[in-house]
Amino acid sequence: MRYLMQLIKNSFRMQFTYRTALFAGLLTNLFFGVLRAAVLIALYAGKSSVNGMSIEEAVTYVALSQGLIAFLSIFGYYDVMRSVYSGDIAGDLIRPAGLFFTWMGRDVGRSVVNLIMRGILLMVIFGFFFDLVLPTSGLQWLWVLISMILSWGISFCWRFLVNLFGFWTPDAVGIGRMMFAVSQLFCGFILPLRLLPVWFSRLAEFTPFPSMMNSTVEIFLGTMQGFQVLQAILIQMLWLAILYALCQLTLALGIRRLVIQGG
Amino acid sequence: MRRSLKLYFTLISVQIRSQMEYRVSFFMDLLSTMLLNGSYFLALALILERFGNIAGWTLGDMAFIAGLSEMGFSIMDMLFSGFDPDSFSQNVRLGKFDQMLLRPVNISLQVFSSKFLIRRLGRFLEGAIIFGVGMGLAGIHWTLAKVLYLPIVLISIVAGMGALFVMGGTLIFWTVQPVEVVNIVTYGGNELMSYPMNIYPRWIQNVFTYLIPLVFLNYLPALYFLDKPGVLHFAPVFSFAAPFAAALMLFLAFRFWSFGLRHYQSTGT
Amino acid sequence: MIEVTHLSKEFRLADRQPTFAGSFRQLFKPRYRELKAVDDISFALEKGEFVGYLGPNGAGKSTTIKMLTGLLVPTSGTMIVDGMIPWKQRTKYVAGIGAVFGQRSSLWWDLPVSDSLEVLQSLYNVPAARFRSNLEEFRKLLELDEFIHAPVRSLSLGQRMRAELCAALLHDPKILFLDEPTIGLDVVAKERIRRFVQHINRERETTVILTTHDLSDIERLCKRVIILDHGHILYDGMLQALIDRFEGEHLIRLTYSSREGGGIFDGLRLAQDDGIQAVYAFDHRNLSVPEALSRLQQQITIVDFELIRPSVEETIRHIYEEKLLLTPPDKA
C-alpha cells in the first residue's frame, strides 16, 4: 500500500517536468474547442434549442469533450505495451502492488494534473468567452465528481486491457490504434450520443464507452435528471467491475504467456 | 534531378518495406484512420441533416470543401512527414540528423525521405470518398477551367500546409524539443479549412488570412467551384490566388529552413 | 592530407536556470556563458597515418571531429582536408570520408544488412563493380556471411560493428573516423575489428582517426597520438616517445620466504606487504631491474618475482592528472 502511495506521489512529481507540454496541450485543446464551438454556433444560427440541446449546452459539451481528452487519454495510451516490448515489464512483475495497480498508480498523477491544467483551466478560460451551462446544485456537482472518478476508472481499465495485447503479439500498436478509434467513436467524444441516430446510441450501450465519457458529460449538463443520473452511475459501476475483472483475468493469462522481447 | 528522385524513392521504399512487415498493423491502421476521420465527417453529415445547412452551405458543399482539405492534408502528411516536429526532433536528438549530414546527399531531400507513413493513405482514401460525395451532391457546373484548376488547388493545399510543417520543423534547430503549438496550425488548420471560413469570428479569419494564408488555399477556390457569391472582403479573383499563396509560403519556409541549417552548423546541438 | 591551423570553436550557451523565477527572467533578459570547446589547436596529418585522438571527456574531441566531418563551422582558424574545406563543400566532401560511431548507427534498423548496404551504394553512388569487389573483400575479412541477411535489429553488438565498418568503407573513403568502435565488445571481437582496421589502413592507405577511451586499442593500432584537454593540445607525437617520457613507476611483486633488516632500500618504495608477497615501486629510468633485484635480495629471500609495467592507461591518466603540457611536439 505504501508502495502505491509512493508511486502516486512520484507520478504527480513527474508531471512538473512536462509543464511545457501541458501548456501546449492546453492551447491545442482551446483552439479545437473554439473551432468546434464556432461551427456549432453557426449551425444553430440563432435557434435556441435543437433536439433538446440548447446552444449553451452544445458549447459546454464541446468544452467538456476537449477538457476531458487528456484526463481520460482519449486518443490512446501505449505505455504498458511499450514496456512489454522493451522488457522493462520484468521489473514491474516483481513489485509489491501487482501489475495492474502499479500502472494505475503511475496514471493517477498524470490524469489528475491533466484534469486540472487542461480540463478545469480550459473550462474556466472558455467560460470567459462563451456562455456555459454548469451544474446548478451541490448534489449535481457531487454526482459529477463520482461519475468522473468512475469514468477514469473505466478508461484506465480499457486502456490497460488494450495494452495487454502486447503480451500476445509484437504488433499491438496497430491493434491499439484501432481499439482506441472505436472507443473514441462510441464514448460520445465526437458528438453527444443524444444527437446521434437512435440505432447508434443503442449499439453503443452494449459497450462500456458511453460510461467512459458520455454519462459524465450528460450529468454535468443536466440533460440527465434524477433517476437517470442514478441509473447512469450504476451502469458505470457495473462496467468498471466488468472491465476490472477482464483486466485481471487477461493479465493472468498474459503473464503466463509472457514472451519478453528485447532490443 | 532524376538521381534525386531515384534516391527519394529508394529511401522511402526502405520504410514502406519495414512498415509492410507489420501486416496486421498496416491494415488495422488503414481501417482505423478511415473509420476515425470518416466518423468526424459522418457526425457532421448527421448534424447537417438536422440543421439543414451551415451558413448557407449544404452537405454537398461541406463534403466538397472538407474532402478537398482532407485529401490535400493527407498527401502533405505523407510527403512532409520528415519535417513533422515530433519525428524531426527525434532525429536531431538521437543523432540521426547528424548521420544524414555525413551522407553526400542533399540534406533537405534526406529529411523529406526520412519518414514516410504508408498508413496515412487511409486518410487520403477517406478524404477522397468524402470529396466524391461532395462532387455528387453539390451539383457543380463543371467547366474546363474548373477541371484544370482543381488539381492546382489540391497541389496548393499540399504545398501550403507542407510549408507549415517545414517551418515547424525548422524551429527544432533552436528548441530541440518539438513545439506543440505547430500542431495547432497544421492539424487545426486542416480542420479549420474543412468549414467555410465565414462562420468563424473575425479575429480567426484575419489570422488565417494575413498571418497564415490558409483562406486562399481552400475556401476561396471553393467559392469559385461551387459558384457561391464572394463573401468577406475578397474580390472573386482571389479564388485563383491558391498557387501563389502556396508558392510564397513554400518559398518563405525553405528560406527559414536554410537559415536554420546554417544556425545548426554553427552551434551544433 | 589534413591541415588544421589555429582552429577554435566557441559556444555561447544560454545559462540554464533551475528555478521558475530564473527561467522567467531568462526569457526576457537572457544570460549566456561562453564555452571555448576548442582553443587554437593546430596539427597536420599525412595520408595513410593512423592517429589516436585522446582526451578526457569534455576535452573538445567530439567538437573537433564534428568540424572535421563537416558538421560544425569553427569560430576561427582554418581546416583543409584533402584540399577541401569540410563544411563549405559538404556534399562533395563527405563522399570521401567514412565514419563509424559506437553510439549511432548508419544502417537501417529493420532491414537486412545486405539491403542497407545496397541503399548506401545508391546514396554514395558507388559503381556496381567497385561495390561488388569491396563487398566481397569485406565479407571475407569481417566474416559477414553468417549474418549478412539478418535484420540489423537482431544483430549482436559485435556483429553490428562489423557491419558498420563494412558500410563505412564501401565507397572507398580516403579518411576513416572511428569513434569508440570497440566499446562493449569482448576480447575476440575487439581483436577482429582491430585487425580489420589495420589491414584497411595498410593496404588502402586510408587515413584513420581513432577516438576512444580504450587505450589498448591505441596501443595496438596507433603510432601517433594527439592528446586534447580543455580545448588545447597537450601532446602530439609518437606514442612510444610519450610512454618513454611519462611512464610512471614500475613495480616488482615479490613472493618471499623470509626477510630481515629495516626494509629500507635505496631507490625502491614499499607499496604493499602482506607477509607473503610484497610490492616495491621504482623509477626504471634511474634503476635497472637487475640492480633493483640485487638491492632487494640483500634483505629478502626472494622465492619468485614479477615485473609490472604501468599500462598505457595509467601513463595517460598520469599525464591528464599532472596536466603535463608539452611545448615542442615530440616526433621520433
Chain A, nearest residue to B186 by Cα: A28
Spacing of C-alpha B61 from chain mean position: 20
pLDDT confidence of residue A222: 86
Q: Is the pLDDT of residue B225 over 50?
A: yes
Task: Please indicate whether, in this complex, the C-beta atoms of A175 and B199 are within 8 angstroms of each other.
Answer: no
Tally: H helices and E strands in chain B: 13, 0
Which helix (H) or strand (E) element contains residue B194? none
Q: Do B181 and A24 touch (CB under 8 A)?
A: yes
How near does any CA of chain B get to the CA of C176, in Å? 12
Helix (H, G, I), strand (E, B) or coil at A152: helix
Q: What percent of chain B has pLDDT over 70?
A: 98
| Grid cell digits, residue B40 | 468526424
C179 Cβ neighbours under 8 A, 6+ residues apart:
C62, C65, C99, C100, C101, C102, C103, C211, C212
Mean per-residue pLDDT, A7-36: 85
The cell numbers describing B42, all together, are 459522418
Q: How far apart are CA C327 and CA C332, in angstroms?
A: 15
Which pLDDT value is given to residue B232?
Answer: 65
Q: Tell me the nearest-neighbour CA distance from C46 into chain B, angstroms.
A: 22
Interface of B with A in 30-59 (CB under 8 A): 31-33, 35-36, 39-40, 43, 46-48, 50-51, 54-55
B206 near A CB under 8 A: no
Q: How much is the ipTM here? A: 0.83
Alpha-helix residue ranges (DSSP H) falling in chain A: 2-17, 19-44, 55-72, 79-86, 89-93, 98-114, 121-129, 138-163, 172-186, 198-204, 214-221, 227-256
Q: What is the pLDDT of residues C43-91, one digit of tens each?
A: 899 898 999 998 877 778 888 888 999 888 988 888 999 889 988 888 8
Task: Kindly tell me if the per-residue pLDDT of A260 is higher than 60.
Answer: no
Q: What is the nearest CA distance from C101 to chain B, expressed in angstroms?
A: 9
Q: How many CB atoms lie within 10 A of CB A234?
A: 11
Give CA–CA dist A78/A70, Å, rounded. Answer: 14
- Cα–Cα distance, C176 to C69 (Å, whole number): 10
CA distance A65 to chain B (A): 14
Q: Which of A17, A22, A32, A35 to mutate to test the interface with B (most CBs of B within 10 A)?
A: A35
Cα separations in angstroms, A218 against A214, A229, A230, B47, C55 = 6, 9, 12, 18, 66
| pLDDT reported for residue A263 | 31
**Inter-chain contact B54–A51, Cβ cutoff 8 Å?**
no
pLDDT of residue C18: 64
B48 vs A contacts (CB less than 8 Å)? 43
Distance of CA C5 to the CA centre of its chain: 21
Alpha-carbon gap, residue A207 to A236, rounded angstroms: 11
Shortest CA gap B212–chain A (Å) = 15
Note the pLDDT of residue A159. 94
CA C121 to chain centre: 28
Query: Which of A46-55, A250-259, B222-231, C65-74 is predicted most confidently?
Result: C65-74
- Burial state string for A105-114 with b = 16 or more CB within 10 A and e = fewer than 16: bbbbbbbbbb
d(CA C187, CA C189): 6
- B53-57, B228-232, C24-28: which range is least confident on average? C24-28
- What pLDDT does residue A262 have? 38
Q: Would an 8 Å CB–CB cutoff place A35 in contact with chain B?
A: yes
Average pLDDT, chain B: 87
Distance between first and last Cα of chain C: 20
Provide the residue type at B120 as one letter. Answer: R
SS3 C82: coil
Q: A31–B39: do the CB atoms touch at under 8 Å?
A: no
Q: Measured between alpha carbons, how far is B188 from B199 in angstroms, rounded to an integer?
A: 15
Specify the pairing of strand C277-282 against strand C269-273.
Answer: antiparallel
Which pLDDT band, with edges at 50, 70 and 90, does B90 fall under? confident
Mean per-residue pLDDT, A26-36:
90
CA dist., res. C4 & res. A82, Å (int): 47
Residue length of chain B: 269
| DSSP letter assigned to residue C282 | E
Q: Do residues C115 and C42 make contact, with C-beta atoms less than 8 angstroms apart?
A: no
**Rg from Cα positions in chain C:** 25
Q: Which of residues 283-302 of C touch B (CB under 8 A)?
A: none
- CA dist., res. B69 & res. B124, Å (int): 10
Q: Spell out which residues of chain A touch residue B36, defining contact as CB-CB under 8 Å.
A: 181, 184-185
Average pLDDT of the residues in A201-213: 90
pLDDT tens by residue, B192-213: 988 888 888 888 888 888 888 8
Residues in Cβ contact with C9 at an 8 Å cutoff, skipping those fewer than 6 apart: C36, C37, C38, C60, C63, C64, C67, C72, C74, C75
